[in-house]
Amino acid sequence: MALLTGKRVLLGVSAGIAAYKSALIIRLLKQAGCEVRVVMTDGAQAFITPMTLQALSGEPVRTSLLDPEAEAGMGHIELARWADVVLIAPATADLIARLAHGMADDLLTTLCLACETPKLIAPAMNQAMWRHPATQRNITVLEQDGWQQIGPDAGDQACGDVGPGRMSEPEAIVDAVLKRLTPPPMANDALQVVITAGPTREPLDPVRYLSNHSSGKMGFALAAAAAASGANVTLISGPVNLPTPRGVTRIDVESAAEMNAQAQRLATTAALFIGCAAVADYRAESAAAHKIKKRENSDTLTLTLVKNPDIIAGIAALPADQRPLVVGFAAETQDVEHYAREKLSRKGLDMIVANDVSSAELGFGSDDNAAWLLWRTPDGTDSEHQPAQSKTALANVIIQRALSLLPF
């Protein structure tokens, strides 16, 4: 279950080409457990239909201030009171100007004036329009009025220009909304959580290495969820291109040996250890000091590989008075639950999360995942299956289940 179940987001969509991204924003908010209602300007309907956003939100889309049926009960006031947060994405230069001057000439601007809850805005426009002094004055006014600005990003634009003005990506926008809806956690220094994430790289020579397809997204989502629960989180990460979650201490490593050294150092003072990294099982017996040259008279190359340390099994084998609760991961391509049960027993884990990485839509590199959760009980083991969902939502489930197994 997502941590933000029942939180209510009012999404305003104005007339920009980035309106197509609003569909993904709704999907991500719903996956996080939020209720979403949508208000569209007249111009927005030229870029994406109300029917599309209604299907995604599960709620009727409002488009007119002068809707006799809705306004019979002062619908715009009801909407303003309903929302826990207002998000406008995309926000055009025109809409920003009207909001900055307190205009109430359509449903969206009217309910923004009537709404006293937090408001966020994601600008989207041509780079020259964004840089124009009038737009900069207007956005400053909104910030002074309490609006939180998200973006914009810089890059290629639909008109062919390059520069600032692109609407931020849906994931960044939703992350800002969820942070606004989530009260700062009460830090619990006694609850130390260590998480490994991402791939490892095992050098073959100065320019080559052995690695895998892990993006680190699941481990980083777990770190964010644990920090949101109030834990003191240390994330040991292999080489990935991801921002460090808020409130998380990050240690970057390259090889399995480096990751193992950090894990062994930190695990004895942790209450919970989660091994989510995709650690290389083998490394070169000895990495070449110089680049390995292609041999013109041979079509093969023989490498001698040796086993890497089994990080998760090593943590699970610590003495009882030094051992944290240990959660492992299993990436499988068949018989997922069967292999997960075998690994849970063989490595002496307290809990395991197993997922099928044979699907292109789930697992490595994807934003979504599905998994089997298995954990030890006094009577044996228990399990549950989590269907496909965002890695953020799944991370919340995993963290809450792991914390429930702690002895305090």
Positions marked catalytic:
159
Separation of alpha carbons 132 and 165, rounded Å: 11
Strands 231-237 and 248-252: parallel
Go through 177-212 and write b for each residue having 16 or more CB atoms within 10 A of its CB, e for each that does not: bbebbeeeeeeeeebbbbbbbbbbbbbbeeeebbbb
34 annotated to a ligand binding site = no
Instruction: Give the number of other Cβ atoms within 10 Å of residue 367's Cβ.
Output: 16
248 φ, ψ to 5°? -115, 135
Helices (H) and strands (E) in the chain, counts: 14, 19
E strand or H helix at 403: helix 391-404
2 annotated to a ligand binding site = no
316 annotated to a ligand binding site = no
173 annotated to a ligand binding site = no
Separation of alpha carbons 256 and 395, rounded Å: 23
273 annotated to a ligand binding site = no
Separation of alpha carbons 18 and 26, rounded Å: 14
Separation of alpha carbons 270 and 341, rounded Å: 25
E strand or H helix at 212: none
276 annotated to a ligand binding site = yes
321 annotated to a ligand binding site = no
274 annotated to a ligand binding site = no
E strand or H helix at 280: none
E strand or H helix at 156: strand 153-156
102 annotated to a ligand binding site = no
391 annotated to a ligand binding site = no
324 annotated to a ligand binding site = no
Annotated binding-site members = 275-277, 281, 291, 309-312, 329, 343, 347
Annotated binding-site members for CTP = 275-277, 281, 291, 309-312, 329, 343, 347
